[in-house]
Chain A
């Protein structure tokens, strides 16, 4: 076992912290994140409120913890949705080939022609801006990239001997796909899902920041940042802490992603 690279350690530490904070935030926060307190309005960080309070006197630290839980949960559901549908489309399309593959991939690639969060924005216009709308919109928006990568992996897998062997043994196509193709896609899928978690978290924060995500008063890092804008001159902490949370999470995911790639592809080490 090799020693872990420093970027893996730092990335692992950041993501580990996020997971712990999100898990705790889901069940317990120091204060009720929705409890208004007009006596403690816009209070600077202090012993009672470590990260200060917002314009309604709500504890920023508690809201960040609850927001971590919400954002992590939404990202997890979204990634799962995209991975499940993308894998299904990619495996079937890559394995069956022919006209089916061509039509599916033409649509798939056209959806990839919507840059960034544009497709998610369009879907939100149809689905409505709420927690489930955002999961569905981002899930659908990220499905094509999963499908593309999985199909690529399947195309080379299906030419291998053990797939031919499975067919010769008289296994059905469905069985071959589920038993022999799918398990071999898990390694690239794990790498993909990790980095996608970062993209989705960023997209979710961006949509919440635009007011198209989880509606207030429920806290997410994105809508806390959006809410901080009118008060940023007098209450800097409102704008600093949520952004710091998003950035550190993304940094952790980027560092972990680099570390995983170094390990899987030693030729690219240090890139």
Chain B
């Protein structure tokens, strides 16, 4: 187990390093003086010269990367051009907003989609199964930004049950804060049901046709016990891995949902920074989301043996 964990952690390190190199190279591909890019057009010559010195722009590219990477390890991602704030605290503050939406949505989607997928597989080709798969495929095909718009139209404008757009921090006003989060969470929840249900069903079907399921039934176990103890536990692995990918993909693509509901999350921060050419923030967001994605998948992998002890044996 320890060996498995160590190898898996060591495998993630080169990926993180190359991610850092890619982001460094990406920003350096922009024509112009990096110091000017980092400080914006309004910077005065003294601070430009100062930053050039600190970034080591008169030295070779590998040395520049070394300096940059050193700062990165200290959590120094530079300063936002437009707001003059340090980038990392800015990102963390926005990340929390996005993370609560994504986490709650995925948790709810797992709780609904996985049992539904197992039941669909159990009753394969019945009308219940066809209905569930049809619904999942439909939900999967509706882009989140349109689904959000439809929810907003129906619950916000027509029924007037929920506030239309905006964001209130839960720590400031719990009730209103939650009300503002209902529709964004519902949007992602409905979309991810489609993805997760199909996966849970497919991997359960794989397992249900194996001999030990027939054996479990033959020895007189109830259908519930066969499904839960023998089928579900063995079939959950692929879905568990998919949850990690889903979390990361949502974080990478949440900008559209945040745009629909005008939520000041991480996705919106990145898009606004692209519009404002706020390169330190763009760079910070890219690094942060990619790192989070790698770490989430690492944690998912490390938890995998809890569901399926066979993987550590390999």
Contacts and interface: CB of A to CB of B under 8 A. Distances in A.
B partners with A: yes
Interface in A154-190: none
Query: Interface SS of chain B: helix, strand, loop or mixed?
Result: helix
Nearest to B292: A115
A145 B26 CA distance: 19
B202 interface: yes
Contacts of B201: 271
B252 A122 contact: no
Interface string B58-77: 00000000000000000000
Contacts of B15: 106, 109-110, 113
Given A115-B289, A243-B143, A250-B143, A122 B251 contact: no
B116 to A, nearest CB: 15
A60 B162 CA distance: 29
B18 interface: yes
A122 B282 contact: yes
Nearest to A109: B15
Given A114-B293, A232-B152, A232-B153, A206 B274 contact: no
A138 B293 CA distance: 19
A117 interface: yes
B290 A206 contact: no
A232 B149 contact: yes
Contacts of A209: 145, 256, 259
- A118, A124, A248, most chain B CB atoms within 10 A: A118
Nearest to A11: B137
Interface string B12-54: 0011001101110011011000000000000000000000000
A123 B145 contact: no
A126 B25 CA distance: 11
B267 to A, nearest CB: 9
A267 to B, nearest CB: 9
A209 B254 CA distance: 12
A106 B279 CA distance: 26
Contacts of A121: 255, 270-271, 274, 286
A24 interface: no
Contacts of A236: 153
A211 B256 CA distance: 10
B143 A247 contact: yes
B140 interface: yes
A229 B260 contact: yes
B175 interface: no
B198 to A, nearest CB: 8
Given A225-B146, A232-B153, A117 B141 contact: no
Contacts of A225: 145-146, 149
B9 to A, nearest CB: 15
Contacts of B22: 107, 110-111
A82 interface: no
Nearest to B245: A115
Interface string A241-271: 0110011101100110010000000001011
Interface of B: 14-15, 18-19, 21-23, 26-27, 29-30, 124-125, 137-138, 140-143, 145-146, 149-150, 152-153, 157, 201-202, 205, 245, 248-253, 255-256, 259-260, 270-271, 273-275, 277, 279, 282, 286, 289-290, 293-294
Report the 4 A-B pairs with minimum CB-CB distance, sorted nearest first.
A116-B252, A243-B146, A110-B18, A115-B252
Given A115-B253, A122-B26, A228-B149, 15 more contacts: A107-B18, A110-B18, A114-B19, A114-B290, A115-B251, A118-B252, A118-B253, A126-B26, A205-B143, A206-B145, A206-B253, A210-B255, A212-B271, A233-B157, A271-B202
